[in-house]
């Protein structure tokens, strides 16, 4: 299983919107509506922000939204805030109870 492809970095000013892409294949992202997104601050464990492509866990602000088209999933953060600065990873179910993570994207708030 090859890692899903994400941009290395994305930046934006406070209040702006940014979108992170996550490109897989027809065997993972394209095959299942089970893409999740994780936020990871330095030295901390990841935290789920989006699951099942576009669902938000309780407590996650609605500024975070997810979508998918074909083999590419996307995470959009609107109204960017300083605390959103972190690494973000996508993850897709890949069949047979296996998962594949993305390469990770560093979000910088300018």
Partner 1 sequence: EVQLVESGGGLVKPGGSLRLSCAASGFTFSSYSMNWVRQAPGKGLEWVSSISSSGTYIHYADSVKGRFTISRDNAKNSLYLQMNSLRGEDAAVYYCARDLGWHVDYWGRGILVTVSS
**In the bound complex, what is the minimum distance in angstroms from residue 97's beta carbon to partner 1?**
5
Among 29, 86, 102, 107, binds partner 1 (CB under 8 A): 102
- CB 1 to partner 1: min, Å: 7
Site string for partner 1, 10-29 (x = CB under 8 A): --------------------
Q: What is the DSSP string of 49-96?
A: EEBTTTB--TTS-TTEEEEEETTEEEEEE-S--GGG-EEEEEEEE-ST
Q: Which uninterrupted H or E stretch holds 37?
A: strand 35-40
The DSSP H or E segment spanning 46 is none
Give the residues lining the site for partner 1 (CB under 8 A).
1, 3, 32, 34, 36, 38, 40, 45-48, 51-52, 57, 89, 91, 93, 96-104
């Amino acid at each position: 299983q090859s890692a899903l492809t994400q941009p290395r970095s994305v930046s934006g000013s406070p209040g702006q919107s940014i979108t992170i892409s996550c490109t897989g294949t027809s065997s993972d992202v394209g095959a299942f509506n089970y893409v999740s997104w994780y936020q990871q601050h330095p030295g901390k464990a990841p935290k789920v922000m989006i699951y099942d492509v576009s669902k938000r866990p309780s407590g996650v602000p609605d500024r975070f939204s997810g979508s998918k088209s074909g083999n590419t999933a996307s995470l959009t953060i609107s109204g960017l805030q300083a605390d959103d600065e972190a690494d973000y990873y996508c993850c897709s179910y890949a069949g047979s109870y296996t998962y594949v993570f993305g390469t990770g994207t560093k979000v910088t708030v300018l």
